[in-house]
Structures are given as structure tokens and as C-alpha cells.
Amino acid sequence: MAAYTNFHVLLHVASFASLLLTSCLALELETVPATFVFGDSLVDAGNNNYIRTIAKANFRPYGIDFPGGVGSTGRFYNGRTIVDIIGEEMGLKDYIPPYLAPTTVGDVVLRGVNYASGGAGILNDTGAIYVCN
């Protein structure tokens, strides 16, 4: 179990480092044409609200400090995720929408989407205990 835990932490560090590197490179551009996010609950923007799972964050206290007083957003945080913060720093006008949201269609997809899902992982069995039949 310790090896998996160390690997899991290393995976998150590597993901964050690549996101940070991509963001730093993008800051040199005048505009960022699109941003696509892959990950787990650390960066989930609400995809789990649209799938059959018990791993949801669409209730209080999740999202209570989100800008605009939106309340529960499906994010596994009380406010913005690191992707939201980096997006603001890159000059994005809107938060990157969850891929499964009904409003993520047409030109919205061309500006980027968030594919992250709470409970996601690299192993086939990761998150299996959260699936509702």
C-alpha cells in the first residue's frame, strides 16, 4: 500500500507541475485559445454531478466560498480549484466548464473543457466503489 500511496502523491505532483509549466508557457502568449483539464477531485469542476456516482460535491459545504455566491458547484472545494485560479491568471474570462454539463456544447468546447472527475485514477478499479448501479 505504501508504494501505491507514494506513486499517487508523485502522480499529483507531476500533474500539478505539468499544469504549472503549461500555464507559465501560456502566460507568455497574448491569449489562450483553449484549456483542457484532466484529473480527479482536485480539479473536478462538476462532472460528477452528471454521472451515476455517490462521489458528489453538489451540497454544502462544497462551493460555499465560490465567487458570486454560487454555492454548491460540484467542485470538491469550498471555493475555486487550482485550475480556476491558474485560468484567472492566464486571463480567461470564464471558468472552464465541466465536459458533461448540458451547456458545454458547440463553440464552448472549442474554448476548452474540464474532463476531471472525482474518484478518477490511473488504475481500472479506482473509483469503482463509487459507481451506482
pLDDT digits (tens, 9 = 90+) for 20-51: 545 555 555 556 778 899 998 889 999 998 98
Q: What is the mean pLDDT of residues 6-10?
A: 48
Residues taking part in catalysis? 41
**Amino acid type, 6:** N
Contact 41, 55 (CB under 8 A): yes
For the chain, the residue count is 133
Residue reference for cell 472549442: 110
Q: What percent of the chain has pLDDT over 90?
A: 20
Residue reference for cell 507531476: 14
Give the separation between CA 31 and CA 57, rounded to whole angstroms: 32
Residue reference for cell 492566464: 90
Give the separation between CA 9 and CA 117, rounded to whole angstroms: 17
